[in-house]
Chain A
Amino acid sequence: MKLTVWTYEGPPHVGAMRVATAMKGLHYVLHAPQGDTYADLLFTMIERRNHRPPVTYTTFEGRDLGEDTAGIFKKTCQEAYDRFRPQALIVGASCTAELIQDDPGGLAETMDIPVPVVALELPSYQRKENFGTDETFYQLVKALAGPVEKTPEVTANLIGPLALGFRHRDDIEEVKGLLYEMGIGINVVAPFDATPQDMTRLGAAHVNILMYPEHAETAARHMERTLGIPYTKTVPIGVGATHDFVAEVARICGVQPKKDLSRLRQPWWSKSVDSTYLTGKRVFLFGDATHVTTAARIARDEMGFEVVGLGCYNREFARSVRALGKEFGVEALITDDYLEVEKAIEDAAPEMILGTQMERHIGKRLGIPCAVISAPVHVQDFPARYSPQMGWEGANVIFDTWIHPLVMGLEEHLLAMFREDFEFHDEAGPSHHGGHAPKPVGAEQAGLAADAEAGAEVRISGKMKDAEEEVPTGTGSDVMVWLADAERELKKIPFFVRGKAKRNTEKFAAERGVTEISVDTLYEAKAHFAR
């Protein structure tokens, strides 16, 4: 047993869900107890998908155990096929069903389902989510992709992008553009938006673009072995890596390495004098191996940072990340325990963290600026706007993303000049943090911050007034007094709406000529403003 609060990766069947949800015309029948449907909302909420994941759960209950859970599986499987009519099915077990040993694959085989049924063996107690994505995609490729005639023109498959992938949607567009410049067409993109029917045509491509080794390396190797399709080893994140990627693709396909650099701005932004202050900024990198490897090169060679620590959470890539650590002269951290990551960050004391959602929180706690470079990520990292990590536009996006949390050069200069200024001092932090540098924020301050965000005009000058020393707020002739119990009641209101409640109550009282605010006034006002 291992005590875990936070896990960087979910269980392997969530990886299988990510493949199924990325595709169209595929359905996943998952032998699982009630409650495992929680994973649906990762897709509907975090990724904001407008459809349910194509997953049917058997939802067995306690009373079914020892009876006919196998029968429940077969019935669910048949009903899912009848209702959704997919081109192919995948079947498997979640961690609990693995223990009751019903063998979904074997059961589905005995049924009369007229489409390919791919059985998944996902050992829940040894492996994790990324193993699940890689294994599921590999099994689908193995089952569906046979030898077919090559396309007459040079084409590529893009393999690896899937559901809940960090920026996968936009990376696809960017890579398509890079290939288009060289006159290379797209054969199949998979699993993202591919159907099982599409998967049968994988063999027609001249090259596989392995976009994300975590999710498709096994399938890439399999296709190289059985279909003779070479695959790319360079992931085009960063300017240098994108140049290398173009060269590699051109070599494999025997075409000219043509590039359109007209919209690439990152190199000039990085050379311009405002970026001088970035020189030697000490950064710590953590995430999945692919994003950490590419980010390390960008940090050192394209931003001029100093990499003071790096690591990854997916053990499958431990060897290559350890080698990367050696190249950068640091000991690579291979762990899935966020407490170890937190400790390593504290020890390295970087000026910036590049990591996952977890490191964002660690950074917040330690008061260190952080930018996100890798999954797991939260809802804000599935943006509406175009924001790839790969290719030339990816390089532009990364530059902006990484420097945003830092104090801009000019600002840093001004802060140094006016160090003693009462409103404009070291502690005030960068202006684009809305005057809230990472520091313990008292509830009252947080309430004001929420006001500021709500568009209210709040001027914080000099020292914050403590909530305890609330003085009557004089407005012209009338003076408003909060009675002690009303003030206590006000403090029970969550801080992010407290400011609004306070303002509304005072406005309500003022309109009625009330000068003493009691608990009743507070709630009268609340009722009055209820919407």
Chain B
Amino acid sequence: MNQPAQVKAATCRDAPVLKERGQREVFCGLTGIIWLHRKMQDAFFLVVGSRTCAHLLQSAAGVMIFAEPRFGTAILEEGDLAGMADAHDELDREVGKLLSRRPDIRQLFLVGSCPSEVIKLDLARAAERLTQVHAPHVRVLNYSGSGIETTFTQGEDACLASMVPVLPGTEARELLLVGALPDVVEDQAVGLLSKMGIGPIRVLPAHRSAEAPGVGENTVFACLQPFLGDTAAALERRGARMIQAPFPFGEEGTTLWLRAIADEFGVDDATFEAVTAAPRARARTAIANASEHLRGKTIFFMPDSQLEIPLARFLVRECGMEAVEIGQPYIHKGLVGPDLDLIPEGPTISEGQDVDLQLDRVRAARPDLTVCGLGLANPLEAEGLTTKWAIELVFTPVHFYDQAGDLAGLFSRPIRRREILRLEVAE
């Protein structure tokens, strides 16, 4: 009533977005298979595509290719391109062979690629048909990880969104955590929430198809990753409600994320404080130790995974960095809005990419640290810039309190290395 009006400081929420189209230096959605197949232990990912798709997966999977991987590519050949009926017969044959060889598989994903999308191979129909053939033992689903439709982490979004319609229904009031995280991190998240008395807690994707969560009108869900727009929409179509929060990176992000869920479940302040005080203090200590080289340094994010805005928020607010440009392949304001609210006005927010124009901006700004893909990192280092390769941020445990120091460390290490090496650089 009589309180002074709050004047909100200007934030990036309403900053104009620089939208660019042109050459993009990013992965396609097929890459998501690399971490998704580790998380879903009874799933097999079968890409229907070309030798290029197989080559990409192998290049991205590095040495994992030999741990009896649960993914592969059905490589299209000349004959498959000639007639459509033929392609479906071929697919049925390869899937039959695959499933007889791997009886442990319960979920099979037919993953669309650029070639399969361009020739309009109807994988959705193939999935329905094959589900009937292999029921009840195996469920066959379909999504597209093609480059013409998805960028890098959007592959996970497309995969999870394809699972939502077939999740069992439930009337129970349950919390659903959405997004594939390393087990150690997922356990921490579940542990913290459980200590506050919140439950039952389910996760999507589950480790095994038998543990798939239910969804319904009383389900509330929180996203663990900012790239899950389609999955969130699919859950909302099933009546579930999303809990809005910044993403759980750093001490502040984790606290705000937990706070939003705690509020939803009516957890009182004392309980919240009791559960979070110690890990918060730990996180702050770890961040303080790890971020001494980051304070006052400038950072430039090239688009990669949609983690850029939440990570920039962490680095700006908790590590004292200054963001020059924050580029994302795609910006879903419904998900990263709360993070944008916390970043003070200043940095350019960009969506999409014309890589040569963006590199011109990098060179003009000469930031202390450039976050970019592996195709650009060494070339920029050779130009005297310090880089942090972005893919690691998707593969390494970085969420929640006890990874906050590691997360800051990922960014400080290249800067520290630049400072300690005494090399006569022969450029």
Q: Inside 8 A of B356's CB, which chain A residues have their CB?
A: 79, 83
Decide if B58 touches A6 in the complex (CB within 8 Å): yes
Decide if A531 touches B290 in the complex (CB within 8 Å): yes
**4 residue pairs, one from A and one from B, having the closest CB atoms:** A35-B28, A35-B147, A530-B405, A40-B375
Q: Inside 8 A of A526's CB, which chain B residues have their CB?
A: 282, 286, 402, 405
With A5-B71, A5-B72 given, is the CB distance from A76 to B378 under 8 Å?
A: no
Report how far A318 CA is from B418 CA in the complex, Å: 50
Q: In the complex, which residues 246-284 of chain B have their Cβ closer than 8 Å to any Cβ of chain A?
A: 278-279, 282-283
Decide if A5 touches B52 in the complex (CB within 8 Å): no
With A1-B75, A2-B75 given, is the CB distance from A38 to B60 under 8 Å?
A: yes
With A3-B74, A60-B148 given, is the CB distance from A531 to B23 under 8 Å?
A: no
Report how far A527 CA is from B287 CA in the complex, Å: 8
Q: Inside 8 A of A493's CB, which chain B residues have their CB?
A: 184
Decide if B151 touches A125 in the complex (CB within 8 Å): no
Decide if B24 touches A99 in the complex (CB within 8 Å): no
Q: Inside 8 A of B408's CB, which chain A residues have their CB?
A: 530
Q: Inside 8 A of A50's CB, which chain B residues have their CB?
A: 378-379, 381-382
Report how far A365 CA is from B68 CA in the complex, Å: 11
Report how far A99 CA is from B120 CA in the complex, Å: 11
Decide if B26 touches A37 in the complex (CB within 8 Å): yes
Q: Inside 8 A of A311's CB, which chain B residues have their CB?
A: none
Other than the given A1-B93, A124-B51, 5 more pairs (CB < 8 A) read A4-B72, A34-B28, A56-B23, A59-B22, A531-B290
Decide if B374 touches A126 in the complex (CB within 8 Å): no
Decide if B406 touches A530 in the complex (CB within 8 Å): yes
Report how far A106 CA is from B391 CA in the complex, Å: 38
Q: Inside 8 A of B119's CB, which chain A residues have their CB?
A: 99
With A99-B115, A125-B81 given, is the CB distance from A3 to B72 under 8 Å?
A: yes
With A34-B26, A365-B66, A528-B285 given, is the CB distance from A492 to B184 under 8 Å?
A: yes
Task: Give chain B nearest CB distance to A74 CB in angstroms.
Answer: 14
Report how far A526 CA is from B77 CA in the complex, Å: 52
Report how far A530 CA is from B72 CA in the complex, Å: 38
Q: List the A residue with the shortest CB-CB distance to B53.
A: A95
Q: List the A residue with the shortest CB-CB distance to B57.
A: A5
Q: Is B76 an interface residue (CB 8 A)?
A: yes
Q: Inside 8 A of B405's CB, which chain A residues have their CB?
A: 526-527, 530
Report how far A86 CA is from B377 CA in the complex, Å: 23
Q: Is A109 an interface residue (CB 8 A)?
A: no
Report how far A6 CA is from B66 CA in the complex, Å: 9
Q: Inside 8 A of A58's CB, which chain B residues have their CB?
A: 23
With A3-B74, A7-B55, A45-B374 given, is the CB distance from A96 to B27 under 8 Å?
A: no
Task: Give chain B nearest CB distance to A405 CB in angstroms.
Answer: 18
Q: Is B90 an interface residue (CB 8 A)?
A: yes
Q: CB-CB contacts of A1-25 with B at 8 A, as 1s and 0s? A: 1111111011101100000000000
Report how far A40 CA is from B378 CA in the complex, Å: 11
Choose one: A61, A62, A124, A361; the contact of B50 (CB below 8 Å).
A124
6 contacts between A and B (CB under 8 A): A5-B69, A35-B29, A37-B24, A60-B148, A65-B118, A526-B405
Q: In the complex, which of the residues A1, A10, A51 has the most CB atoms of chain B within 10 Å of its own CB atom? A: A1
Task: Give chain B nearest CB distance to A517 CB in angstroms.
Answer: 15
Q: Is A286 an interface residue (CB 8 A)?
A: no
How many B residues face the partner with a CB closer than 8 A? 81
Task: Give chain B nearest CB distance to A235 CB in angstroms.
Answer: 26
Q: In the complex, which of the residues A6, A94, A529 has the most CB atoms of chain B within 10 Å of its own CB atom? A: A6
Decide if B23 touches A59 in the complex (CB within 8 Å): yes
Q: In the complex, which residues 258-306 of chain A have their Cβ closer than 8 Å to any Cβ of chain B?
A: none
Report how far A168 CA is from B132 CA in the complex, Å: 53
Report how far A529 CA is from B288 CA in the complex, Å: 11
Q: Is B54 an interface residue (CB 8 A)?
A: yes
Task: Give chain B nearest CB distance to A41 CB in angstroms.
Answer: 4
Q: Is A431 an interface residue (CB 8 A)?
A: no
Q: Inside 8 A of A76's CB, which chain B residues have their CB?
A: 23
Decide if B373 touches A527 in the complex (CB within 8 Å): no
Q: Inside 8 A of B94's CB, which chain A residues have their CB?
A: 1-3
Choose one: A34, A41, A52; the contact of B147 (CB below 8 Å).
A34
Choose one: A2, A5, A13, A96; the contact of B65 (CB below 8 Å).
A5
With A45-B374, A50-B378, A523-B282 given, is the CB distance from A38 to B58 under 8 Å?
A: no
With A4-B54, A35-B28 given, is the CB distance from A48 to B378 under 8 Å?
A: yes
Q: Is B172 an interface residue (CB 8 A)?
A: no
Q: In the complex, which of the residues A59, A60, A364, A528 has the most CB atoms of chain B within 10 Å of its own CB atom? A: A59
Q: In the complex, which of the residues B28, B46, B65, B66 has the most CB atoms of chain A within 10 Å of its own CB atom? A: B66
Q: CB-CB contacts of A92-129 with B at 8 A, as 1s and 0s? A: 00111001100000000000000000000000111010
Choose one: B72, B98, B377; the contact of A44 (CB below 8 Å).
B377
Report how far A382 CA is from B22 CA in the complex, Å: 33
Task: Give chain B nearest CB distance to A60 CB in angstroms.
Answer: 7
Decide if A52 touches B26 in the complex (CB within 8 Å): no
Choose one: A36, A99, A492, A531; the contact of B118 (CB below 8 Å).
A99
Task: Give chain A nearest CB distance to B405 CB in angstroms.
Answer: 3
Report how far A96 CA is from B116 CA in the complex, Å: 9
Q: CB-CB contacts of A158-195 with B at 8 A, as 1s and 0s? A: 00000000000000000000000000000000000000
Q: CB-CB contacts of A507-531 with B at 8 A, as 1s and 0s? A: 0000000000000100110111111
Task: Give chain B nearest CB distance to A90 CB in angstroms.
Answer: 17
Q: Is A142 an interface residue (CB 8 A)?
A: no
Report how far A273 CA is from B247 CA in the complex, Å: 66
Decide if B148 touches A34 in the complex (CB within 8 Å): yes
Q: Inside 8 A of A124's CB, which chain B residues have their CB?
A: 50-52
Decide if B25 touches A37 in the complex (CB within 8 Å): yes
Q: CB-CB contacts of B132-157 with A at 8 A, as 1s and 0s? A: 00000000000000111101000000
Task: Give chain A nearest CB distance to B229 CB in angstroms.
Answer: 16
